[in-house]
Structure 1
Amino acid sequence: MKKIAIGIVAHVDSGKTTLSEGLLYQAGEIRKLGRVDHRNAFLDTHPIERDRGITIFLKQAVFNINDTEFTLLDTPGHVDFSTEMERTLQVLDYAILVISGSEGVQSHTETLWKLLKRYEVPCFLFINKMDIAESSHRDIILNLRDKLDDGCVDFSSDFGSEAFYDNIAMCSEKLMEQYLNMGEIKESDIQEAISERCVFPCFFGSALKLSGVDEFLRGLDKYTKSINYKSDFAAKVFKISDDGNGNRLTHLKITGGTLKVKQLLDGTTSDGENWSEKVDQIRIYSGTKFHAAEQVKAGTICAVTGLGNTYPGEGLGDEENSQSALLTPVLSYKVELLSDIDLHNALSNLRKIEEEEPQLYVMWNEQLQEIHIQLMGEVQLEVLKQIVFDRFGMKIDFVRGNIAYRETIAEQTEGVGHYEPLRHYAEVHLLLQPGKRGSGIKYYNKCNEDKLDKNWQKLIMTHLKEKTHIGVLTGSPITDIKITLVAGRAHQKHTEGGDFRQATYRAVRQGLKMTKNILLEPWYEFKLEVPTDSIGRAMTDIQQMGGRFSQPENNGVDMTVISGFAPVSGMMEYQSEVSMYTKGRGRLTCLPNGYELCNNSDEVIEKIGYDSERDIENTADSVFCSHGAGFVVKWNEVRDYMHVDSGFDIDGLQKEIDVSEKRTSEYISSVVTDKELMKIFENTYGPIKRDTYSVLYTKKSHVNNNKPIKNKPKKEQGEDYLLVDGYNIIYAWDNLKEYADENLDMARHKLINILCNYQGFCKCQVILVFDAYKVKNNPGEIEKYHNINIVYTKEKETADMYIEKVSHQLSKKHRVRVATSDGLEQLIILGNGAYRVSANEFKKEVDMVEKAIREFLKK
């Protein structure tokens, strides 16, 4: 039997729960249709859900169609509960996206589509409420292709017709070739195209009236394909819950092998501690009811008891942990206790709920004696109040706090922590380095076992991971930092495990105090649709809040769309403003897009008023021992007292960088122009007059060309520029081509990071150009990513056209080099007075730079 895990997702009020009822009823799983407005839906069983008429908690149901067993996961539709929905996507074989035929693609629909793409989930679409929709099937399909994907195909009205197969064939070259050669497309090939996200079947109907539901079920049965699973046991945890009787449930999907009752499972907690526990019971849920199973095979969605340390996103057995969530709360609230309950008991209760919803991020502020929590919005806030009261009898309220800021560092440093009160001893040395934006905290161990026993090293690494370390500017969690254990010392008699916890915490903190810290604020990726006569107001607002946006696009007769990025602090209350100045016609869609430098950090830091020196729970000071008594040494004097020399030299750091940059410059200076290519060009277009020596000199190079200084040609003025033809390089370098064959976005991202490192060493202005000339209505876009500029060319403008234009302009005042493998483009470059670097030559330069970086980091 074919086993398919399928999830149903939708913008709120699209009829998602009603469709779930219809699917289960038509499949014979339930005997009576429930309704949201009647508060008797089969899957919306919680009183809060029935009172509010929305899905809040993930529910599961099992039904069969012919030889296919479907496990349906009904996810929350409201944006405030979308973090649980996102976690669920990672265990789905297929998804059902419900769209209201009367409303079309709405704000949250586009967010859902991006998430489905991110997790590569094949998708069926059900266009609901067609009994009250004014648009035709054709108009809706055109809208779906415009807003979502060209692969949206009508499987209802056109099914089996010539137009149907024409539309299917247009979705991929493989299908087009088969259709042209054979005059038909096999069902198995349509299945494959759907599973590869080339085709998105669209069905129309009315779930409330059961119109089109049977047809949709047959389509699911016919066009889903069996999943090939691993032979060894593997499982992915996607939810933690309480069954109401005090039993902790771990909801997971078996992604390989078999799981049996009493089977011993191993894992690592989110704090880094290893655990080993037995499965007591395996439950297969359908609504609120379940049946127990002795064992379950790959493809099964189940819940197990007996596991007390699992967490959502954890991979068990031969399964990797999930990647970081895209949707994360960006609003922070202070918890106000209305019941007569101890603060620490309240914190313990909230921690239990945090296990089930990790994105809540419950935090105890020792200095202020306050509990803080992060939430997505007002609806989640009200629901959380009710959940806390129902489960613990505890009344709470929330006071709006700050934006959920983060902190990072701008320069690398060594942090030292020493803990030596009488009969205790531990010293830890950590290297703290800035990480890439969005990378989180990465932990490494480079400590020599001859200097510190391996068991102590493991303990230090555990202590590093077990705590949310906070910054010294505002007390916000740190992120985008690489922390490496480089040295440490224990005492043969006096060291205990807790000593290294103290030393480790103090080392992190001392390192932060020793370097330059940066405040980060959360940003949204936004899409704003307003009447054309309001576009000036909208653009001015976004600029004033520090946002950036691409060229506005017309969307219909009198509507214009602006897409871009802006700080959450500016966008937080902006929806109400949009509604006011557009008289209800404006629409704003926001999606969390990570963290960037805070625009008004001084103002924020002053407003929060955090004093790192007074934060006793997170001290940067160390404790040393003298004459049988411990004494405190301030963080800025610790290096004068420390017992271990890790070899890290802060003062010599810039010297190392200069040496590495010099090596890079010397290599680049050895790369000369292609004489053969120059000869071909000059024979065709005439001699080129340019400074042939200038390419040998960069701002920081000191190359000996065996010529007296006075004979060197005069340098051109201005900065050096490097233009890179992105797709040309990707397909010319074997390592990037392998990525591109699997995922072009991954290859682009890899090249972008490579060039960021390259620029950091060579100190030239890098412009990376990607060809987007085939993208319809594309206005072109230039964005700044870290230290390089990325260009996506406009419609009908190829990358070589853009490079030709820009190299001609820049070469008048700057040294310009262009990396490409395109022969014609190389000729054009030479004609513009720029210097050509072939893809192979450029690869050698990049390899040398990366080698220099590695050599430096080893020291």
Structure 2
Amino acid sequence: MPDGSRHRPLSPSAPATTAFSCFGNQWYSEPMKHIVLSILAHVDAGKTTLIESLLYTAGAIRHPGRVDKQTTVLDDDIQERERGITIYAKEAGFAWRDTGVQVIDTPGHADFSSEMERGLSAADLAVVIVSGLDGVQSHTKTIWRLLEAGGIPALVFVNKMDLARRSEEDLLADIQTQLSAAAVPLDPEQIALTDDALLEEWDQTGEISRDHIRTRVAARKLFPVFFGSALHHEGTAELLDALTDLAPERVYGPDLGGFVYKRDDAGVHVKVTGGVLEPRTKLEDLRFDQVKVFQGNRLVNAPTGGVPAGMTAVVTGTDLVPGDVFGAQAPVEGPKLVPSMAYEILVPEGAPDLGPVMARLSAQDPTLDIESDRRGIRIRLAGEVQKEVLTRRIRDLAGIDVGFSVGTPVYRETITAPVKGYGHFEPLRHYAEVHLRLEPAKPGSGITVESEVDTDTLSPRFQAQILSALRHKRHKGVLSGSDLTDVKITVTAGKGHLKHTEGGDFRQAANRAVRQALMTAREAGETVLLEPMISFSIQCDSQFIGTVLYELEKRGASVQVQDDAITGSGPLRNLADFQNELRALTKGGGMLELGETQYEPSPDQDRILAEIDYDPVADLRNTPDSVFCAGGAGFTVPWDEAPEHMHIPLESERTAGYTPAGHRNSVVSEEEARKAFAAVSGRNKNEKKTVKPHKRRDMAMEQQDVTLHPPKPVCYVVDGYNIINSWSSLKTLPLHDARQELIRILSSYQGYLGCRMILVFDGWRVQDNPGSRNMRGALEVVYTRAGQTADAYIEKLVSVLRNEYQLHVATSDGLIQNSVLTKGARRISARELELAIERSAVIPEEYRQHGHD
């Protein structure tokens, strides 16, 4: 800062909550202030070089690495070093003065924007890098809008000033024009010009309070700008001073909570937002075994006392994925930069099953949105570079080379007016009914769910099941089968049965109610198809502008022309491959830069829907119909007739005093209770009757008491691939589809039985596969690690569980059948299991044939 006496380093206003912190190259025993810093930039702006300089200046590394020499400490992936770009978000920790800094290095290439967004979600403060050579780029503006949406304070570092051909004044003007007029150097006079109150303070006192500056930065009303060269460590110390002085101080609650922002081979990366996270922490059904933090670029065990709120950590022992929350943390907003093009993965004939590999990739990056059906595996990607990186990644994990089909846009659907929906699910010995209302929400809001039902009329347990089902379901529209978005779902009534409602009954009823509402909206013409519209910028010689504009008009784009630049937006389906066409039109001189994608109503809805040809009634995994019960059997009622059969009166039929749920409370007087007790206790007999003494018995002739042990709970262990290869309904399907179908069937059957069930898949041939265990409802799904067969895993599992459960092992493998028999388990053949499931009324015929969700 210009005046060190006026702007001396800020110290924290309150002591840290932990006695030990781990940053830099040593353990610090004094309390410290903690901040999580995210570094963001357009590709090639020098982001990784700046982080190397920060670590070096702070003493966290002895020698700074260089991108061009492939010696950086954070870009350690082989593809990152070969390409010279950051692909995966990386972390490091260091100390500067009285502050512990955890820095997250995020990708700068637009193809990896979702990875950048995940790293940004954990940040308290951001540094946006602008290249002194290029100025503000389109991706820089995308980053700035993300920071604004997240309310994250930001500093700006203009890098490569040793090579810049533009002056500081020119670059600052560019930043103020394209990002914010409140972006100014950390000079009191210039800061004063950004705010009337600061200007008055400057006029009266000749200085500005450092607390006032920090307050403006935290409120995103001031964005300090710094100039320097990360490669030569120019401006790095000044930037560190400002980071520690101006970082916002946050207040966290005492109850443990947090969210997941990343998952990789090291573990699950979490931001602690409440309490203290310690190793071997148990929280409801979660367990965190190891807890580690970054010291420099290395992971070390968490400090004594655990990781306090405000810090990040890497934990093991849990299957949480990015976006998940735990403890006191409220649900977090989903990602905004989701890829809008879908591709089919082309797998060579005879190649091994890609299921475990794709599950691993999906857990690390949920925005890939991997889906499969009888047509193959589909995945969402942002561009060609991400496609190349993923191809290499699959080759390393599975040992096969895959290809990709031509990309197709990812459409979405929404509604234009409120609509009511009704769902009922009542096969034999199951019961649930849900009424709800769908309303249009603001663009980009996704799906929000709430209930207006009083807990006195529908129990909190049942309401929690309904809300959980609605929040975790990917609701499909009825026009094209695309994801539903920008809709508010409100539960208006519900009914369950204290004895028969269990498992996924409310999930079935709630999802059918949503589909029934959408079908009603479709009949009324109140559903709309949304398609991705992408912004773009084109630079070309003025002589080609007319030709380019004509081609853009044919592709449905709206444009603006200024000098030799063309900007605008248009359908992604028509512009995704426009770069090659542009080169031909401009004789190789045109440059296309694609920007953000936003969903808007499609101008070609009728034509697109005709090509997709989706039948919502035939989609039995997302059926709008309801299931009722009569005469001891379930029967299906079409969606348009279902409201007439509902057990809860519809809103239009309810009286003022109607209770919209099946649970009613009544009060019994003490006198009534006494009379009822007397009646069932035999007190209605003649009390004056003489009681004769019992005849003396010889106790030696009496039967002796026997101690009875309660029966053990039942546990099923299922050999997944053996079942798939034995059932005729599954073995003809692609392996990935068959596996998902089996998981769906067993998940429902487990809910019907109400016992523990473990489904084991063999992953021993997948290279470097660490194995995994996750929950599908209450069904435990296990993929064995590399080198471990499912047979070996099941034998070990039986040995561990045989004293705790009555074990039933489902397999037709003769060797494993004999093995489990010797350990006291009961064997069930694949055919026996199939017949048992077919006899259960929990799975209607339509689901046995086509699967369910």
- Which residue number corresponds to residue 412 of structure 2? 406
Q: Which of 105, 117, 136 in structure 1 is aligned with 2:136?
A: 105
Kept in 2, the 8 Å contact 1:417–1:505? The answer is yes
- Whether 1:467 aligns to 2:473 is yes
Distance 1:336 1:263 in 2: 43
Distance 2:250 2:460 in 1: 40
**Amino acid of the residue matched to residue 620 of structure 2?**
I
Within a 5 Å distance, the mapping from 1:419-434 to structure 2 comes to: 419-434=425-440
Distance 1:179 1:642, change over 3 A: closer
- Which residue number corresponds to residue 66 of structure 1? 97
Kept in 1, the 8 Å contact 2:36–2:122? The answer is yes
Task: Give 1:492 shift.
Answer: 5.6
Task: Give 1:189 shift.
Answer: 4.2
Within a 5 Å distance, the mapping from 1:635-714 to structure 2 comes to: 635-648=639-652
- Which residue number corresponds to residue 719 of structure 1? none
Task: Give 1:628 shift.
Answer: 3.8
Task: Give 1:565 shift.
Answer: 4.5
- Which residue number corresponds to residue 509 of structure 1? 515
Task: Give 1:186 shift.
Answer: 4.5
Aligned-CA RMSD value: 3.3
Instruction: Report the 3-state secondary structure (helix = DSSP H, G, I; strand = E; otherwise coil) of the residue aligned with 2:79.
Output: helix
Instruction: Report the 3-state secondary structure (helix = DSSP H, G, I; strand = E; otherwise coil) of the residue aligned with 1:636.
Output: coil
- Which residue number corresponds to residue 210 of structure 1? 233
**Amino acid of the residue matched to residue 382 of structure 1?**
E
- Which residue number corresponds to residue 207 of structure 2? 184
Q: Identify the structure with bigger relative contact order (alpha carbons < 8 Å, sequence gap 6+).
A: 2
Kept in 2, the 8 Å contact 1:487–1:646? The answer is no
Instruction: Report the 3-state secondary structure (helix = DSSP H, G, I; strand = E; otherwise coil) of the residue aligned with 2:492.
Output: strand
Task: Give 1:521 shift.
Answer: 1.0
Distance 2:496 2:182 in 1: 62
Runs of 4 or more off by more than 6 Å in structure 1? 448-451
Bigger mean CA offset, 173-182 vs 421-430: 421-430
**Amino acid of the residue matched to residue 14 of structure 1?**
A
**Amino acid of the residue matched to residue 317 of structure 2?**
G
Kept in 2, the 8 Å contact 1:2–1:67? The answer is yes
Task: Give 1:260 shift.
Answer: 2.6
Distance 1:586 1:237, change over 3 A: farther
Task: Give 1:540 shift.
Answer: 5.3
- Whether 1:28 aligns to 2:39 is no
Distance 2:509 2:59 in 1: 62
Distance 1:450 1:186 in 2: 54
- Whether 1:242 aligns to 2:260 is no
- Which residue number corresponds to residue 486 of structure 2? 480
Instruction: Report the 3-state secondary structure (helix = DSSP H, G, I; strand = E; otherwise coil) of the residue aligned with 1:518.
Output: strand
Task: Give 1:629 shift.
Answer: 3.8
Distance 2:157 2:328 in 1: 35
Within a 5 Å distance, the mapping from 1:33-48 to structure 2 comes to: 33-48=64-79
Deviations, residues 448-489 of structure 1 (Å, cap 9, x unaligned): 667755533432332222321212221111122233333444
Kept in 2, the 8 Å contact 1:235–1:252? The answer is no
Distance 2:471 2:178 in 1: 42
Residue identity over aligned pairs, in percent, reads 39
Distance 1:92 1:433, change over 3 A: closer
Kept in 1, the 8 Å contact 2:449–2:490? The answer is yes
Deviations, residues 203-229 of structure 1 (Å, cap 9, x unaligned): 3333233344344444445x4346132
Bigger mean CA offset, 404-413 vs 8-17: 404-413
Distance 1:177 1:451 in 2: 59
- Whether 1:293 aligns to 2:303 is yes
Kept in 2, the 8 Å contact 1:328–1:592? The answer is no
Instruction: Report the 3-state secondary structure (helix = DSSP H, G, I; strand = E; otherwise coil) of the residue aligned with 1:614.
Output: coil
- Whether 1:334 aligns to 2:344 is yes
Distance 1:596 1:395, change over 3 A: same
- Whether 1:174 aligns to 2:191 is no
Instruction: Report the 3-state secondary structure (helix = DSSP H, G, I; strand = E; otherwise coil) of the residue aligned with 1:171.
Output: coil
- Whether 1:307 aligns to 2:325 is no
- Which residue number corresponds to residue 743 of structure 1? none
Kept in 2, the 8 Å contact 1:285–1:303? The answer is no
- Which residue number corresponds to residue 49 of structure 1? 80
Task: Give 1:55 shift.
Answer: 0.7
Within a 5 Å distance, the mapping from 1:16-165 to structure 2 comes to: 16-154=47-185, 164-165=187-188
Task: Give 1:133 shift.
Answer: 2.1
Distance 1:576 1:96, change over 3 A: farther
- Which residue number corresponds to residue 251 of structure 1? 269
Kept in 2, the 8 Å contact 1:620–1:635? The answer is yes
Instruction: Report the 3-state secondary structure (helix = DSSP H, G, I; strand = E; otherwise coil) of the residue aligned with 2:252.
Output: coil
TM-score by length of 2: 0.66
**Amino acid of the residue matched to residue 595 of structure 1?**
Y
Task: Give 1:438 shift.
Answer: 2.7
- Which residue number corresponds to residue 623 of structure 1? 627
- Which residue number corresponds to residue 361 of structure 2? 353
Distance 1:120 1:399, change over 3 A: same
Distance 1:480 1:299 in 2: 32
Instruction: Report the 3-state secondary structure (helix = DSSP H, G, I; strand = E; otherwise coil) of the residue aligned with 2:175.
Output: helix
Distance 1:449 1:231 in 2: 27
Distance 1:435 1:14, change over 3 A: closer
Distance 1:445 1:191 in 2: 41
Distance 1:450 1:171 in 2: 54
Kept in 1, the 8 Å contact 2:121–2:261? The answer is no
- Which residue number corresponds to residue 445 of structure 2? 439
Q: Which of 610, 616, 634 in structure 2 is aligned with 1:612?
A: 616
Distance 1:468 1:82, change over 3 A: same
Kept in 2, the 8 Å contact 1:178–1:185? The answer is yes
- Which residue number corresponds to residue 781 of structure 2? none
- Which residue number corresponds to residue 376 of structure 2? 370
Kept in 1, the 8 Å contact 2:261–2:271? The answer is no
Distance 1:2 1:490, change over 3 A: closer
- Which residue number corresponds to residue 531 of structure 2? 521
Kept in 2, the 8 Å contact 1:108–1:589? The answer is no
Q: Which of 203, 207, 229 in structure 1 is aligned with 2:251?
A: 229
Task: Give 1:303 shift.
Answer: 1.6
Task: Give 1:404 shift.
Answer: 0.7
Deviations, residues 428-453 of structure 1 (Å, cap 9, x unaligned): 33333333333322223344667755
Within a 5 Å distance, the mapping from 1:809-820 to structure 2 comes to: none
Distance 1:460 1:383 in 2: 40
Distance 1:336 1:54, change over 3 A: same
Distance 1:507 1:231 in 2: 38
Instruction: Report the 3-state secondary structure (helix = DSSP H, G, I; strand = E; otherwise coil) of the residue aligned with 1:84.
Output: helix
Kept in 1, the 8 Å contact 2:124–2:247? The answer is no
Task: Give 1:283 shift.
Answer: 3.1
**Amino acid of the residue matched to residue 208 of structure 1?**
L
Task: Give 1:126 shift.
Answer: 2.5
Distance 1:432 1:142 in 2: 47
Distance 1:628 1:66, change over 3 A: closer
Task: Give 1:21 shift.
Answer: 1.5
Distance 1:451 1:255 in 2: 34
Deviations, residues 527-578 of structure 1 (Å, cap 9, x unaligned): 55666666656665555544556x75x5xxx44564x543323332344555
Distance 1:146 1:587 in 2: 23
**Amino acid of the residue matched to residue 241 of structure 1?**
R
Kept in 2, the 8 Å contact 1:86–1:325? The answer is yes
Kept in 2, the 8 Å contact 1:414–1:648? The answer is no
